[in-house]
Amino acid sequence: MICVNDLFFSYTDAPPWLLSDISLQVAGGEYISVVGDNGSGKSTLLRLLLGFLRPTKGTAEVGARRIGYVPQRQDSLGADFPITVYEVLYSYCKLLGKRGAAPPGPYADGPAAASAHTGAFSPQKPDATPAHAPDAHGSSTGAGGIGAGGSGTDSTVAGGIVGGGPPAARIPALIDAALAQVDLSGKKRALIGDLSGGQHQKVLLARALLGDPDLLILDEPSTGVDPSGQEEIYAFLKNLNDTRGLTILSVEHNLDAAIANSTKIFHMANGHGHICSPRQFAKEMLGG
Amino acid sequence: MLRYTFMQNALLASLLIAILCPCIGIFLVLRKFSLIGDTLAHASLAGVALGLFTGVNPILGAFVFTSVCGALIEFLRGAFRKHTDLILSVVMSLGVGVAITLISSGKLRAGADAFLFGSILTVTRGDLALVAALSLVAVLTVGLLYHRLLYIAYDEDAAQILGVRVKLINYVFSVLVACAISVSIRLVGVLVLSSMISLPVAAAIQLGRGFKVTLLASIAFSLADILLGLAGSTYLGVAPGGFTALAGVAVLLVVIVGKHAWRKTRRRRAG
Ligand SMILES: Nc1ncnc2c1ncn2[C@@H]1O[C@H](COP(=O)(O)OP(=O)(O)OP(=O)(O)O)[C@@H](O)[C@H]1O
Ligand SMILES: [Mg+2]
């Protein structure tokens, strides 16, 4: 799913390297947490994977059909932009269907990527009924409520239109379901700028899950979210990873969450990075 | 008064301008690119001068020259990411330089004053047809690219991940800005053109609503601005450009004051 090979990078394209000789292979279905100190280049690595930046040397390839991305929290994003939560999600759904051109970055199109096209908005399991309506979910609490709804995949496109988005008539229901998942049904008509930081973060997570991505790239998804909200988010992510095999790459400062939830940990320091199991990492932390 | 053809032409052109300008302006303002609008407005004078110099329709001249300048800004913005303000100075100098050189040469086939301050007398049937065609194409394009333009303005990273061709659309958008400018230039004039692009949007943003409501409100404010400007300038016998800009400022102030007054009464009621 992700294949980084001997990657060197600095913003000036010259030494000193911010990322030096990074290699990272992520198979489908893994949940990787990326940890490291402030400024160790975690967000930069994600931006390389997303194709916003080009490696100075080496390669960073992503073979995903659809990526859901939650950027690192910036209080500035959209704070003074006149747009409602609904509009943010609605236009996103509309654009899901417009993906004609190749996405940015050197995407490896493996066999998985090719066959997965038809999976987009495929007919859903039978229990996906209008029970996703906000009133049915609004009262649900905790991880069960947040995780049970799936990820807005309850859309049906006949014949698996390649890269197609949801039909317009289904979008409002999709949005309701997406917001219900993060317990924000009541904020549908709110301005993005009027949300609290944590609520904003949850909207971005709900958005990332629209369009049934096969890879989630998250940059500190729980920053600014209250403890119970954090628990919900991690249980939710873990559930997506366990039950749907969604591949997750998440930058974390919440080390407990990283150790508890991820299948592997990518530890970055001084421009280098190595992969280890959560248990090894916990030991390293205690030892250090 | 509407018996006069020139007045009918002016009125129709006003309505077209009032609809088109905020449709483009809202994206400029929200991307904090209002200055690009201003720069291109000034650069358009060179297009007008070139038109008057060579005998091409000055509106067409403005459209072509402004499109080229818009594309140039877009290109340079990619190359010199951190010096956008400098790029704008360069393009503005280029435009105004060409304009002043040509106008002061005394070789223009008609006066350029009308394009500086705006004039209702000069909107001919031919101009109106051109204005209508450009407006229609531009508004339709905005409609077609609505979600893409919105996402590029709101969250460019997300747009890119969704496969939106951000660079291409930015170029298309430059041409749309050129459309809005060249359409407005006859009536409003170069000097206060940017007021048509940013003032109605600024007023609409004050309402604190979602994007669609803000867009519709900015069209409404823009209609108010230009109709007030047209009426005022006819009544007083002054150039419509100046009066439209004043109307724009007045509407913005009324909205701001109104908003505060409304909040105050609500607070009093609550307390
Ligand atoms: N656009 C940029 N241009 C130049 N330098 C940058 C840019 N973005 C980040 N940097 C630098 O690169 C380094 C790594 O930044 P990055 O955002 O990747 O760190 P991070 O590991 O995500 O940190 P944090 O935990 O604080 O989010 C920092 O020293 C930063 O100053
Ligand atoms: Mg970071």
Chunked in runs of 10, what are the mean pLDDT values of chain B (271 residues)?
Answer: 76 92 95 89 93 91 95 88 85 93 86 83 85 94 96 94 93 94 89 90 95 97 94 89 92 95 88 72
Q: Do B151 and A92 touch (CB under 8 A)?
A: yes
Q: Which atom from ligand 1 is nearest to the alpha carbon of A72?
A: 27
Probe ligand 1: pick from A18, A70, A252, A255, max atoms within 8 Å of CB? A18
Contacts of B168 (CB under 8 A, 6+ apart): none
First and final C-alpha spacing in chain A: 32
**pLDDT of A129 strictly over 70:** no
Which residues on B lie below 8 Å from A101 (Cβ)?
Answer: 163, 165
| CB burial readout B189-209, b (16+ within 10 A) else e | bbbbbbbbbbbbbbbbbbbeb
Distance from CA of A50 to the nearest CA of B (A): 7
> What pLDDT does A233 receive?
86
Q: What is the pLDDT of residue A164?
A: 65
Mutational test site, ligand 1, from A8, A11, A13, A72, max ligand atoms within 8 Å of CB: A11
Please state, in angstroms and rounded to a whole number, the distance separating the CA atoms of residues B244 and A194: 33
Q: Of A112, A246, A81, A239, give the one whose Cα is nearest residue B151.
A: A81
The DSSP code sequence of chain B is: -TTSHHHHHHHHHHHHHHHHHHHHHHHHHHTT-HHHHHHHHHHHHHHHHHHHHHTS-HHHHHHHHHHHHHHHHHHHHHHSGGGHHHHHHHHHHHHHHHHHHHHHTT--SS-SHHHHH--STT--HHHHHHHHHHHHHHHHHHHHTHHHHHHHHH-HHHHHHTT--HHHHHHHHHHHHHHHHHHHHHHH-STTHHHHHHHHHHHHHTT---HHHHHHHHHHHHHHHHHHHHHHHHHHT--HHHHHHHHHHHHHHHHHHHHHHHHHHHHHHH-
> CB within 8 A of A162, min separation 6: which ones?
A117, A118, A120
Compute φ and ψ for A217, nearest 5 degrees: -115, 115
The pocket around ligand 1, CB under 6 angstroms, is made up of A 11, 18, 36, 38-44, 72
For residue A137, what pLDDT is reported?
37
| Predicted confidence band of residue A288 (pLDDT cuts 50, 70, 90) | low
Q: Which fold has domain B5-196?
A: ABC transporter involved in vitamin B12 uptake, BtuC (1.10.3470)
Task: Count the neighbouring beta carbons within 10 Å of the beta carbon of residue B63.
Answer: 24
Would the pLDDT of A227 be above 60?
yes
- Find residue A24's DSSP bridge partners: A4
pLDDT in the model for residue B217: 97
Rounded to a whole number of angstroms, the distance from the CA of A78 to the nearest CA of chain B is 6
| ipTM confidence score | 0.89
How close does chain B come to A70, measured CA to CA in Å?
9
Tokens of A80: 């003074």
Residue with the smallest CA separation from ligand 1 atom 8 is A44
Mark out chain B residues that contact chain A at CB-CB < 8 A: 30, 146-148, 150-151, 153-155, 157-165, 204-205, 208-214
A144-201 residue pLDDT tens = 333 333 333 333 333 333 456 788 888 999 999 999 988 899 999 999 999 888 888 8
* Amino acid at site A160: G
- Residue A265 has a pLDDT of 93
Q: Which pLDDT score is estimated for A75?
A: 64
The pLDDT of A82-86, averaged and rounded, is 96
Question: Could you identify the atom of ligand 1 that is nearest to the CA of residue A251?
Answer: 22
Query: How far, in Å, CA of B247 to CA of A105, rounded?
Result: 48
